[in-house]
């Protein structure tokens, strides 16, 4: 039986862009649906599931940031945001509300394709771990990061992370007690040519801390080393 194509939902009020992306991505093997605004998006999602949402920032009615917040609250579906403005503030806010990536318009469809694949690759399950009980598991504080299952647990509860947050935590946890600068983190995290705007790492660190740190003002696990970068301390040193 052939694999089911990956489903992508494009939410953009530009009908020509929806058609262009629909044709291009369908030619790359994806199943693509379109919606012109939040109302159409909600109607489509009420009847279907999607593997990734491409979401325009500036939409009629409810804007893309509000839609991203609602999408993140209901599911952990990857989100790539688009914007004709492309300013730093828009990038930061887009990441803060839970988007996995952000692209300014106009863009090359091939670059968007590369970013879609990178986001989905980070989300895809890894190969099954070896039979050893602790293989591929990193423990810190009350947490258990299972690299094989791509899951973070606190006791019996699963901690919901975006694909980008999970990948960032994996990179940090695999380099314990070592300072990693922003450029290195971006190179390891992105997997494709990055924007010269690199403050997105700081935003993602802040989001990750909000989910794992007892006190974000005094982080125990992800420490800021001023002027150098970040260091993961599994022992939980304050």
Which residues are CB-neighbours of 209 under 8 A, at least 6 positions away?
Answer: 216, 219, 222
**For the whole model, what pTM was predicted?**
0.56
pLDDT tens digit string along 17-28? 999 999 999 999
**Beta carbons of 68 and 81 less than 8 angstroms apart:** yes
CA distances from 118 to 126, 219, 220 (A): 14, 29, 30
Q: How far apart are CA 75 and CA 66, in angstroms?
A: 14
Which pLDDT does position 133 carry in this prediction? Answer: 39
Task: Tell me the CATH architecture of domain 137-232.
Answer: Orthogonal Bundle (1.10)
Which stretches of the chain drop beneath a pLDDT of 50?
1-2, 126-134, 191-198, 238
In whole angstroms, what separates CA 218 from the centre of its chain?
25
Q: Encode pLDDT of 18-75 as tens digits.
A: 999 999 999 999 999 999 999 999 999 999 999 999 999 889 999 888 898 888 877 7
Map out the domains of the chain as residue ranges.
7-122, 137-232
| Superfamily in which the 7-122 domain is placed by CATH | Response regulator (3.40.50.2300)
């Amino acid at each position: 039986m052939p694999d089911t194509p990956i489903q992508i939902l494009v939410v953009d009020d530009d009908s020509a862009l929806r058609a262009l992306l629909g044709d291009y991505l369908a030619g790359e093997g994806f199943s693509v649906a379109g919606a012109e605004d939040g109302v159409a998006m909600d109607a489509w999602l009420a009847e279907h599931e999607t593997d990734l949402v491409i979401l325009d920032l500036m939409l009629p009615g409810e804007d893309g940031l509000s839609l991203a917040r609602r999408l993140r609250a209901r599911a952990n579906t990857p989100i790539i945001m688009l914007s004709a403005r492309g300013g730093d503030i828009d990038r930061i806010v887009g990441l803060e509300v839970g988007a996995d990536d952000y692209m300014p318009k106009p863009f090359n469809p091939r670059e968007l394709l590369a970013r879609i694949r990178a986001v989905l690759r980070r989300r895809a399950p890894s190969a099954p771990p070896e039979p050893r009980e602790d293989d591929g598991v990193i423990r810190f504080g009350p947490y258990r990061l299972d690299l094989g299952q791509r899951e973070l647990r606190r006791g019996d509860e699963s901690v919901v992370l975006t694909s980008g947050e999970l990948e960032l935590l994996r990179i940090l946890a695999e380099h314990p007690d070592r300072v990693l600068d922003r450029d290195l983190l971006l190179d390891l995290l992105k997997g494709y040519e990055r924007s010269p705007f690199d403050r997105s790492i700081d935003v993602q660190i802040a989001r990750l801390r909000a989910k794992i740190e007892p006190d974000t003002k005094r982080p125990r696990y992800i420490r800021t080393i001023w002027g150098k970068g970040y260091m993961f301390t599994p022992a939980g040193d304050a």
